[in-house]
Structure 1
């Protein structure tokens, strides 16, 4: 039984003397390393190759009506990658070149073979093949990671131009490969300041960069991401960008923050209501008592007592409105078409839209999406936002845009106006009770709207630019 540690070599040569010579040379210099077997014709060689049982092949160029090049082509046809050393004649430079182009690992001039030269050629060829094989395996492994990773992977050059993207990145950004490869990385940023700051960076001087950014895909959808940038190939100045989409995680965090903030607001409202109503009741009782006293019969006294009573009732109404807008509402939930809810909200705002001569642009998804909703209350929530938009736009110049898009099992409704916009410092206060920039109004409309959306397991957010308008984004789960 042959020694399993020996490298198996097949020699394909129709000259038996050459086989005995090569075998003798190998046994002379390395008797325990190689096991040489012989195929005496082209066809026998082809049959042996098909079994794929050898570590290396020694092939003579001249094999009757065939050549060693035909053997190399057969290896290629099988897809069988293995080292091959071709024996050629002296001075056959064209054949040597052709052999290397056809896939030979090495060639040896038959008449010049010595034991040392043969052993060295075999050893070097096997070592080179093993090394290349390891590199190929490593490349295949990393290519598999690149192709199958759920994270977005981009390769960029020293100018931050995108040169490669994995399928996850192409899918999420929504661009064709050739289009994406014409972009600089900063083109994907949603925030201009971030894009400019990143574009000005010399990536070679920063080591590993890891930071949260807001990116934008082809449809305009904004993506919260954690981006890590590091040097991949120093010689060619290529950088690896691994982008983790944390949009869902950030949305969950924002939703939790909104709910916690709303719960705190509700608790404060109940405390305020209790602390205000007790003394308020005493003031109203005292006012009613004073009205019955003789000294209150004068016109001036009646005037002041009426002011006190009227304002006490006004405070009581505000406290009631505060409690109503911050308490968990009772909902009567039924499957309802979202487009129907939006149409009803627009219908209720029709008079205001007509008076202010506002153009309405609707781009709602054609898919008949059903949401589990208290229709009456959800209509009120959308109506509050629509009215806010109408009031923010100058008459005759307003454009109200209402669109809906599907993202996984959620529908995102965007209600945008081209009004005056909201200062950045006011955006975080927008849903707080009694916060308003209007001369009239209680500032409880958006608080109530947020309450309704949260009770529908939804999320509401707002983006605005001064002088350009405001967009509200309402995210709701839909029934599948």
Structure 2
């Protein structure tokens, strides 16, 4: 068994003699030493020369509490036991609060008491050292982790968040510490369900929900959390690791969209052929009927024939537009300045906006790098979305806001209006062919826009506003020509 080096710091030689006598009765595993001043004692502590320190409360120049405070502030990890000539509860509490391992009254010390106090003090010091080491490792992992890690509690109070979390949510530390954790959940029902499941099970793995940043960016995330008891504050806290699944979800949505596009293209072509055959027969019959000598002079019949022909042509054009909107055509990809493409789309709709007394707010982020796109198709997408915004506004004030941002390898265009908005039950079907809530509208504009952006590996997303609608158009910025076409 390793010898334990014990240092007595006491300016009274008589106390040294008495204490040494007690040690002589204790197991020989202790090596006992003595210094007789505050200065020598603190020097020995700072040099970490001993395993345990017995410090007298009265040291002439200073007190044992002063020495204890200086030692703790200097990072002393060895246990310090305070000795005093008489019991004083105030000194006892003060010593323990600062970090003393024990508090002993000299007149009550015997070999058994001293041996037990030293053994317990060493064990406690080893435990605290292990805890500090574990805490230090956890802190390093906590701070250096790329994934956001959040520490909160059942009430929603945020206790801590790592640098990855601050970057992900876009808050400063002081700002997010003032919030409740419900502020990062897009839907409050998700926060309630998260807390309920965590309290019930004690841990939670891969709870999927949408979180929102300070800038309003919504991310689809997976939360894994467990409950831990905070021994300092005697309370339970949630340790939550957040993984951003937006990329995975976007890939899944794109896969679904590609599947839907393939099916709709197949259906459109088949339906087009089925409609065109009877239309051709009707048109042929109408032409024969119109040339009949018995009715060529009948203006009423001729006017009805003209109406039938016009409507047949309209049906034919509708079928052609439907087929065209569902066809996957090879993209003519070239490098273009995306800001110039947006400006061109705005220019083509500007007269209509002026005619409807619509205020245009435009904030486009300049981007000098050329983006690989099919310019006419992207321009038509932008025109279609702007036209939808124009047609959605029926009362004043009428405002269209067109802004852009750059996030990593994506150029995002936001088109917002102050129109009637889209009802929640329709938000999932607005890209379906022929869906429309407008009179005399074909319902193919957004279908075509989604198809064009999907073939560019981009996307179009709808977000409801308090007054109006917002469409986010995302176009990837490719540094290499790797596109699905």
Cα gap change, 1:111 to 1:188, in 2 (>3 Å): closer
**Range that drifts further, 196-205 or 404-413:** 196-205
Once the two structures are superposed, the pairs formed by residues 329-478 of structure 1 within 5 Å of their partners are 329-365=329-365, 368=368, 370-394=370-394, 397-464=397-464, 468-478=467-477
> How far apart, CA to CA, are the structure 1 residues paired with 2:374 and 2:180?
46
In the other structure, the counterpart of 1:156 is: 153
Per-residue Cα deviation, 1:68-96 (whole angstroms, up to 9, x for no partner) = 66764663464232112345555799987
| Cα distance, 1:443 vs structure 2 | 1.9
Per-residue Cα deviation, 1:396-418 (whole angstroms, up to 9, x for no partner) = 53110112233332232211111
Once the two structures are superposed, the pairs formed by residues 45-56 of structure 1 within 5 Å of their partners are 49=45, 51-52=47-48, 54-56=50-52
Once the two structures are superposed, the pairs formed by residues 10-21 of structure 1 within 5 Å of their partners are 10-11=7-8
In the other structure, the counterpart of 1:183 is: 179
Q: Structure 1: give runs of 5+ residues left out of the alignment.
A: none
- The SS at the match of 1:436 is coil
Whether the aligned pair in 2 keeps the contact of 1:10 and 1:54 (CA below 8 Å) is yes
| Cα distance, 1:151 vs structure 2 | 2.7
**Range that drifts further, 120-129 or 198-207:** 198-207
Whether the aligned pair in 1 keeps the contact of 2:197 and 2:204 (CA below 8 Å) is no
- The SS at the match of 2:441 is coil
Cα gap change, 1:267 to 1:89, in 2 (>3 Å): same
Cα gap change, 1:221 to 1:34, in 2 (>3 Å): same
Whether the aligned pair in 1 keeps the contact of 2:228 and 2:239 (CA below 8 Å) is no
Of 136, 153, 166, which aligns to 2:132?
A: 136
- The SS at the match of 1:349 is helix
Once the two structures are superposed, the pairs formed by residues 242-391 of structure 1 within 5 Å of their partners are 242=240, 243-278=242-277, 280-281=279-280, 310-365=310-365, 368=368, 370-391=370-391
> How far apart, CA to CA, are the structure 1 residues paired with 2:339 and 2:346?
11
The TM-score with structure 2 as length reference comes to: 0.79
| Cα distance, 1:24 vs structure 2 | 6.4
Cα gap change, 1:440 to 1:69, in 2 (>3 Å): closer
**Range that drifts further, 259-268 or 451-460:** 259-268
**Range that drifts further, 372-381 or 326-335:** 326-335
> How far apart, CA to CA, are the structure 1 residues paired with 2:307 and 2:211?
56
The TM-score with structure 1 as length reference comes to: 0.80
Per-residue Cα deviation, 1:308-333 (whole angstroms, up to 9, x for no partner) = 65555444333322222222233333
Q: Check if 1:117 corresponds to 2:113.
A: yes
In the other structure, the counterpart of 2:483 is: none
Cα gap change, 1:372 to 1:156, in 2 (>3 Å): same
**Range that drifts further, 384-393 or 259-268:** 259-268
Per-residue Cα deviation, 1:230-277 (whole angstroms, up to 9, x for no partner) = 644498554416244333333332233223222222222233234444
> How far apart, CA to CA, are the structure 2 residues paired with 1:107 and 1:217?
52
> How far apart, CA to CA, are the structure 2 residues paired with 1:66 and 1:236?
35
| Cα distance, 1:115 vs structure 2 | 1.7
> How far apart, CA to CA, are the structure 2 residues paired with 1:166 and 1:157?
19
In the other structure, the counterpart of 1:84 is: 80
In the other structure, the counterpart of 1:240 is: 238
> How far apart, CA to CA, are the structure 1 residues paired with 2:124 and 2:179?
39
Whether the aligned pair in 1 keeps the contact of 2:190 and 2:209 (CA below 8 Å) is no
Q: Check if 1:7 corresponds to 2:10.
A: no
In the other structure, the counterpart of 2:482 is: none
Per-residue Cα deviation, 1:5-43 (whole angstroms, up to 9, x for no partner) = 343444556889977875664464323x43445668777
Cα gap change, 1:95 to 1:281, in 2 (>3 Å): closer
In the other structure, the counterpart of 1:29 is: 26
Q: Structure 2: give runs of 5+ residues left out of the alignment.
A: 480-485
| Cα distance, 1:124 vs structure 2 | 1.5
Cα gap change, 1:196 to 1:479, in 2 (>3 Å): closer
Cα gap change, 1:147 to 1:157, in 2 (>3 Å): farther
> How far apart, CA to CA, are the structure 1 residues paired with 2:270 and 2:20?
100
RMSD between aligned residues: 4.2
The size of the alignment, in residue pairs, is: 473
Per-residue Cα deviation, 1:173-221 (whole angstroms, up to 9, x for no partner) = 33344443443333444346x3896699798678657744333322222
Cα gap change, 1:408 to 1:382, in 2 (>3 Å): same
Cα gap change, 1:41 to 1:180, in 2 (>3 Å): closer
Whether the aligned pair in 1 keeps the contact of 2:154 and 2:238 (CA below 8 Å) is no
| Cα distance, 1:392 vs structure 2 | 1.0
Whether the aligned pair in 2 keeps the contact of 1:402 and 1:416 (CA below 8 Å) is yes
> How far apart, CA to CA, are the structure 2 residues paired with 1:237 and 1:78?
30
**Range that drifts further, 229-238 or 351-360:** 229-238
- The SS at the match of 1:471 is strand
